[in-house]
Structure 1
């Protein structure tokens, strides 16, 4: 029983460990899954911002290219200037810079960043800068005073080349692509391949170098695709803008924000695990206490049963269920009856005790009991340790031991005195019967067994006086005639009235009717 208790404790411990392992794998899976979802969400947001800005720049390039084709067919400068003036009423900030330093429209203040720039690139984007043609009050550190330009190359009808540009205020650009997530704590900005912040987020104009990821962006290969990295516990996701630039849209999120949700779920998981383990511990304690109590009760019951087993006046033996039948153990009364010390003949075949002539009979009874045919009785002689034979009477039936194994259990008691008394009574009765037969034989010359209906005769006792002729009679009629020949005449009538076959048959018939 104690072994079972320890096995139960081991089972509970294994279950608790399995649950702990399962919870660990679960929280690991949750962390990985939430991490992947967070990365996917941030990359999707970054992609949306990039596509928005890219679409705006592509649209500006397409518009300028179409407008440049129109200007290439105009010969008169004044007409070109008028066209630009009217176009700026529809699309503000469009200017033409020629390689001879001519700038149109004439009434607009030129940006010296383009003036005199030799036509080279077909199209591109001018990085954010303070417009050199401003009134001198612009602050280079203030993005509100900065602009950026989209430009395309242009060739006029007279062969002169230049750039057709479209100017955008940085504040307007910020409002179109600026991204915010994780409750406004995550943000995005635009940087070039050198890591220089070109366009900051709307609510964070000053980004320190420790967050700007400058060194990492410098190491990126040219035209690198979307990717992410972690530096100094900060998550960075980047995507190239394209449209002829080396710019990237970079999204920045503190790792603590990403892992916080996973930590909350994992904390709840560990709390649940703690509750489950505590529940298992409580159940284990309650179960073990009950099991220990049941063990003590079972042990007390076994002691009580053992006490009864060894103190009943009759013999009790536990026998194996299959032949050859082995005495597993016998109680004190049984060993005393057989003349052996207690437990001295455990695990000994029963043929060691049973008299040879009775062994087959006893094993036959045990075979029936082993097949579950109910309690079976037997009587046999036992050879005691001192060589003396005794008689026992017993009952045997199929049963179970303490471990639930099938066994035969037999109880028996000494019937030697009863057996001897019965044998003495049988001898006495036999002797009396012989004496009675002798007396009857002396009184009657002929004693025979008759069947009148079949006319059959069998002698039981016959005096030598009649041995000569009477003994040869085969039927009652023959016996009657031969004896009648020997009867004196004065007794002949009485003899015939009493022993004639018809008289005897009539007498038997009257006896049956009564």
Structure 2
């Protein structure tokens, strides 16, 4: 009987490959115990010819560079592959691992891993070549193991190919990111230049128009933020004065006191009704004794003044 425990008290299990006394071919059996009403015990057995299903267990991989055995926990070969590089006569997997070429400690660790039904891999010398042994238990109510064997050189070659493809992919991603960043920087620079040219042109128009233009705060008290060149001239600022020189000056200090309430009324009307207003009022120039009358057009842009 095969399996983790021997004996006929198991309800089901697998009988290890053996030569059938009926057909004379290598077979293994699945069995299920049946307890009859009269107290007798019977077994339902399903038999499989190893030759017909060997390909399902002994896998080939890495373009037939690797092959597999089915063994038990003591290393006995149960199903051997038809692969040309496999050993066709070895009865126990440990016979393939000469102590003269392999560490005894590594062989003992490998044997202990099989006893403990662990999954893993180990590297051993076999046929004067370093081979990778990958092992995993098949379970299936048995102590069977699938052992896959492949040359370490083949694994390293394929691993290097995967690493090279991975590095190529990473390099392509980095190059794509670099090109995207370069395109974005170029786009930003072009946009900045375009906006800068537009701002310069608007600034030129702002100072070139023959009318005074003032930017005024929305909050009370209304204060000047900027005056264009003509506005500075009308208020008798020096010719080299910057547009923001009057910044912080309240409208109340510029508009003639007698016209101030009327002017504020126009600002409120513009804010509340979202429309333009045109009116005239007197303003105080730099010379405190000088008065002049200006026509002012105001329009609401960003909401009502405070």
TM norm structure 2: 0.59
Bigger Cα Rg: 1
Separation of aligned partners in 1, 2:276 and 2:250 = 21
What's the counterpart of residue 188 of structure 2? 291
Tell me, yes or no, if the aligned pair for 2:133 and 2:147 is still in contact at 8 Å: no
CA drift of 1:314 comes to 2.5
Q: Which residue of 1 aligns with 2:284?
A: 383
Alpha-carbon contact 1:338-1:384 (below 8 Å) kept: yes
- Determine helix, strand or coil for the equivalent of 1:386: coil
CA distance in 2, matches of 1:397, 1:185: 84
Gaps of 5+ in 2: 1-12, 27-48, 91-95, 124-130
Name the structure 1 match of 2:233. Answer: 336
Which structure carries more helix by proportion?
Answer: 1
**Structure 1 pair 176/208, CA: closer, same or farther in 2 (3 Å)?**
farther
3-state secondary structure, aligned to 2:216: strand
CA-CA distance at 1:312 after TM superposition: 3.5
Kindly indicate whether residue 253 of structure 2 is the aligned counterpart of residue 352 of structure 1.
yes
Task: Name the structure 1 match of 2:209.
Answer: 312
- Give the 3 Å change call, closer, same or farther, for CA 199–57 of structure 1 in structure 2: closer
Q: Deviations over 1:224-254 (max 9, x none)?
A: 44x321223824224489999x885533345
Counterpart contact for 1:317–1:331, Cα < 8 Å? yes
Supply the distance in 1 between the matched residues of 2:19 and 2:191 (Cα, whole angstroms): 86
Shift of 1:285: 3.2
Distance 1:251 1:280, change over 3 A: closer
Name the structure 2 match of 1:180.
59
> 3-state DSSP class of the match of 1:348?
coil
Deviation at 1:300, TM superposition (A): 2.7
In 2: Cα distance, 1:363 partner to 1:381 partner = 13
Q: Give the CA deviation at 1:216.
A: 3.1
Rounded Cα–Cα distance in structure 2 between residues aligned with 1:181 and 1:303? 74
Post-superposition, which runs of at least 4 consecutive aligned residues in structure 1 deviate over 6 A? Answer: 172-176, 196-199, 210-213, 240-244
User: Within 5 A, what are the aligned runs for 1:62-461?
Assistant: 177=54, 179-182=58-61, 183-189=63-69, 201-202=81-82, 203=84, 204-205=86-87, 207-209=96-98, 214-220=107-113, 222=115, 224-225=116-117, 227-232=118-123, 234-239=132-137, 250-253=147-150, 257=155, 260=158, 264=162, 271=168, 274-275=171-172, 277-341=174-238, 342=241, 343-371=244-272, 373-387=274-288, 388-399=290-301, 406=302
Answer yes or no: is the 8 Å Cα contact 1:315–1:332 preserved in 2: yes
Q: Distance in 1 between matches of 2:209 and 2:200?
A: 14
Report if aligned partners of 1:54, 1:241 keep a CA contact under 8 Å in 2.
no
Given that residues 320 and 407 in structure 1 are in contact (C-alpha distance below 8 angstroms), is that contact kept between their aligned partners in structure 2? Answer: no
Residue 329 (structure 1) shift: 0.7
Q: Calculate the aligned-residue CA RMSD, in Å.
A: 4.6
- Are the equivalent residues in 1 in contact too, given 2:266–2:277 (CA < 8 A)? yes
Report the Cα distance in structure 1 between the residues aligned to 2:260 and 2:140, rounded to whole angstroms. Answer: 107
Query: Secondary structure, in 3 states, of the residue corresponding to 1:329?
Result: strand
When residues 338 and 281 of structure 1 are mapped into structure 2, their CA distance, relative to the original with a 3 A threshold, is same
Deviation at 1:359, TM superposition (A): 1.2
| Contact 1:339–1:384 (Cα < 8 Å) also in 2 | yes
Query: TM-score under structure 1 normalisation?
Result: 0.38
Query: What are the Cα deviations for residues 55-108 of structure 1, in whole angstroms up to 9, with x where unaligned?
Result: 454896xxxxxxxxxxxxxxxxxxxxxxxxxxx7x5669xxxxxxxxxxxxxxx
Alpha-carbon deviations, 1:31-64, whole Å to 9, x = none? xxxxxxxxxxxxxxxxxxxxxx94454896xxxx
- In the superposition, relative to structure 1, how do residues 295 and 240 fare at CA in structure 2: closer, same or farther (>3 Å)? closer
CA contact (8 A) 1:194 1:214 kept: no
Unaligned runs of 5+ in 1: 1-52, 61-87, 94-146, 148-171, 400-405, 409-514
Does the 8 Å CA contact 2:17/2:50 hold for their aligned counterparts? no
Q: Is the 8 A contact 1:195 1:217 kept in 2?
A: no
